[in-house]
Amino acid sequence: MKKIAVLTSGGDAPGMNAALRAVVRTATYYGMEVYGAKRGFDGLIQGDIYKMKSYSVSNIISLGGTILKTARSVDFHAQEGRDKAYEQLQSRGIEGLIVIGGDGSMMASDRFSKAYDFPIIGIPGTINNDLYGTDFTIGFDTAVNTALDAIDKIRDTANSHDRIFFVEVMGRDAGYIAIQTGIGGGAELVMVPETETSIQDVISTLQAGWDRAKSASIVVTAEGNAEGSAIDIAQKVKSHINNKDIKITTLGHIQRGGSPSAFDRILSSRLGLNAVEALRSGKKGVMIGIIKDEVVYTPLDIAVNTPKPLNDELVRMVEILNS
């Protein structure tokens, strides 16, 4: 394989640039040409594709976001869009594609790869850590560290005012960011979509803390909770407890930005390098991942459609460590 393309798609995640750097540098090392498509699949459709050189990725390993920019492409959902994207690749003689993105991007890649029998390797890039076939996705570690930093600060003010804080973190339908942030930040309770936690459970946990003379509490809530957002949950709790000062913080997109952690830079570099080598060895239609420190390949549809349950031990830990 002599010519490949790379793009970043879906929500940006810290470490995407490090992965991109590894792709470009590895391809260059093997004497291959690399093309970068701007704004994910939209750039591919529109032919916004440029040749990348080793220097194109200089000094980006420490940068958050993605220098290629990203998008959640609507046009790529339509046959016409996918046909155009295929023509753009064909007309440039591009023989393989590396897609760095989350579950939506892996799903779109699977469809495209099968329909045109086009070699694609997916690299899991999402703060959500919700892709099966890898222990960790690019950006998750940095997002957890960012959220933890915020929780530490919130605890200072929560303690000073004897307040209850409901802190909402991202993760879409998954509770990975919430559980790790909650454990790392010593939260009194973590509400994740994977486990049912009723409003009564929240009240009982808070009450048990007050009975032990706790004056401040932090409840970390995942955005995909059945009980709704942190605002919804706080309102429901407030209607049962009116003698406590309740505050709400939604961390939002702060979790998506910032310089990637050491863990994310190394993970991204490893995935990027191995993705190019996978294309060279004839692999296609798979997502690359790392499980127990080994590089593994999972068919794209399986990576997207197989649930990745939270580690039960982590869920159990919160209750015990808060007792």
Residues of each annotated binding site for ATP: 11, 72-73, 102-105
| Nearest approach, Cβ of residue 117 and ligand F6P (Å) | 29
User: How many CB atoms are located within 10 Å of the residue 123 CB?
Assistant: 31
| 189-191: strand order across its sheet | 189-191, 217-222, 164-169, 246-250
Q: Report how far residue 9's alpha carbon sits from residue 68's, in angstroms, rounded to the nearest whole number.
A: 9
Let me know: does 68 contact 7? Beta carbons within 8 Å.
yes
Among 275, 289, 264, 287, residue whose Cα is nearest residue 17: 264
Q: Choose between 34 and 178: whose C-beta lies nearer to ligand F6P.
A: 178
Among 30, 85, 27, 24, residue whose Cα is nearest residue 52: 24
126 binds ligand F6P (CB under 6 A): yes
Q: Choose between 88 and 126: whose C-beta lies nearer to ligand F6P.
A: 126
Q: Would residue 257 be called left, alpha or beta, if left means φ above 0 and alpha means ψ between -120 and 50 degrees?
A: beta
- Can you say which residues are annotated as belonging to the binding site for substrate? 163, 170-172, 223, 247, 253-256
23 binds ligand F6P (CB under 6 A): no
Q: Choose between 128 and 180: whose C-beta lies nearer to ligand F6P.
A: 128
Each residue 241-280 as x (binds ligand F6P by CB under 6 A) or -, in order, gives ---------------x------------------------
Q: Residue from 171, 175, 209, 289 that binds ligand F6P (CB under 6 A)? A: 171
Each residue 27-66 as x (binds ligand F6P by CB under 6 A) or -, in order, gives ----------------------------------------
User: C-alpha angle with apex 183: 178 to 188, nearest 5 degrees?
Assistant: 90
Q: Choose between 161 and 253: whose C-beta lies nearer to ligand F6P.
A: 253
Contact range with ligand F6P by CB under 6 A, out of 20-28, 56-64, 168-176, 236-244:
168-176
Supply 62's token pair.
């420490």
| Nearest approach, Cβ of residue 63 and ligand F6P (Å) | 18
Strand bridging mode 49-52 / 96-101: unpaired
